[in-house]
Amino acid sequence: MKLVLASSSSLAPCFCVRFFPPNHNILNPSFSEQRKIKLRAISVSCGMSEVLKSDLMEPEAETLVNKRNLYAPIEPYSTGNLKVSDVHTLYWEQSGKPDGHPVVFLHGGPGGGTAPGNRRVFDPEFYRIILFDQRGAGKSTPHACLEENTTWDLVNDIEKLREYLKIPEWLVFGGSWGSTLALAYSQSHPDKVTGLVLRGIFLLRKKEIDWFYEGGAAAIYPDAWEEFRDLIPENERGSLVDAYHKRLNSDDLETQYAAARAWTKWEMMTAYLRPNLENVQKAEDDKFSLAFARIENHYFVNKGFFPSDSYLLDNVDKIRHIKTTIVQGRYDVCCPMMSAWDLHKAWPEAELKIVYDAGHSANEPGIAAELVVANEKMKALMG
């Protein structure tokens, strides 16, 4: 693997990528034909990012990706609610091109919900953009509900939504917890996935939870950490995740809210390379914080509902053939780069792009630019 370090601005005007040889005679191959093409690696970047070569793209041909800015805001052309169990009903929406290539956006948290800005990393003239709020999050009901709320329930929900919308296969896009869910879904249904764009890799292993919630990240944010830690009495600090679990599931609603605000603020304080006040203020929204904190904590206490700590890495072979781009902030504190690196080592065929002037958030300029580029490159593969 060769590491290529570019030195120009993260908002540089172009990104050159080799895809097909000049004499390639399939201008718009079918999705199945495209996935059969053995692609080899690229090596060029105009952004402030480090690019690891893979075996995904042909070196003899190139296409110019000159779009790096977010697309203009758009509104959905259809919305709805899908009942996925006796307990849960999911909010979903579609925007962009109704007959375009489908892409499903998997939000973070778990419990974070979607936002209008999530649509803006996709070309609305090419993609049929599907967003939905996972169980208990956003506009889905019941709010902040933990009953029947597991990773595998969500994987099944994605399939139910795909079938309901009559979509044969789709591009899967997920960041943070969304990357966890995207990996779990694609490993369960690889034949339904035309490509993967992943950001801020989170494999939900014990060492990742311990890093962020049991004191590791305190070395970088000791001030924010003390506020998170000090809600819990000293005699309960052996496991802060367990101590917060007790309070987030208290019979007293105000106890839940206080714990939810502290849990959410800790994550929002650390999500950007340069702390973002607007992001931190989300913690004061009790409705958002309660779903975000309760559902996150529920998944973490239950180890993501995975049968083993390394489950997602152990099952990479099931998706090795899928065209994939991983975008990772070099200074991501919430989901440190060790996880993206471990995934890259297990899956060298996937392209890893390291944005060296960014933390965790998809809204940081360098990360947003690389996500747009990744989706633009997918367009060339999908015709």
Active site residues: 176, 332, 360
CA distance 125 to 130: 14
Element (H, E) at 177: helix 177-188
> b/e per residue, 175-214, with b = 16+ CB within 10 A?
bbbbbbbbbbbbbbbeebbbbbbbbbbbbbbeebbebbbb
Q: Which residue(s) pair with 129 in the sheet?
A: 95, 103
Two tokens, residue 382: 């999908």
Within 10 A of 12 (CB to CB), how many other CB atoms are there? Answer: 17
Q: Cα–chain-centroid distance for residue 299?
A: 16
Two tokens, residue 53: 């070569």
Q: How many residues does the chain have?
A: 383
Dihedral (CA of 331, 130, 108, 71) sign: positive
Q: Which residue(s) pair with 195 in the sheet?
A: 171
CA distance 233 to 243: 9
> b/e per residue, 280-316, with b = 16+ CB within 10 A?
bebbeebebbbbbbbbbbbbbbebbbbeebebbbebb
Decide if 272 contacts 359 (C-beta within 8 A): yes
Decide if 132 contacts 161 (C-beta within 8 A): yes
